[in-house]
Amino acid sequence: MGIYWSKYVMNLLMNLMYHLSVAVALCVGGWMVLQGRIEVGTVVAVASGLGKLNDPWGDLVNWAREFSVVSVKYRLFAQAAEWLGALPTGQVAENDALAPA
């Protein structure tokens, strides 16, 4: 249950950071446009640039998720191979030291 909780909390925080940053950029940019300090095109460029930042974060999260899945599959495969006698005893313990907890 804790894994699901952390997954949803991290997803919530990522979405909140993204949408809050766009909202702040639009509010501050709109205020600066009204004062005549910058142009509307600058605000649009900043807002679209913030939209492009979300894709690399999503890719990084997907990579971490896939790494965790592959790590668990490897450990299960190594344990099954040891159980079937394909690997010498103790090989799984040595390989687990390389894999993250």
Q: At what angle do helices 40-84 and 91-98 cross, to 10 degrees?
A: 170
Q: Residue 39 has what pLDDT?
A: 95
Q: Residue 45 has what pLDDT?
A: 93
Q: Residue 43 has what pLDDT?
A: 94
Q: Residue 32 has what pLDDT?
A: 96
Task: Please tell me whether residue 88 adopts helix, strand or coil conformation.
Answer: coil
Q: Residue 56 has what pLDDT?
A: 80
User: Which of the residues in the chain have pLDDT under 70?
Assistant: 1, 86-101
What residues make up the domain containing 57?
2-98
User: What does the alpha-carbon distance between residue 3 and residue 12 come to, in Å, rounded to a whole number?
Assistant: 14
Overall number of domains in the chain = 1
Q: Residue 41 has what pLDDT?
A: 94
Measured in residues, the chain has a length of 101
Q: Residue 90 has what pLDDT?
A: 56
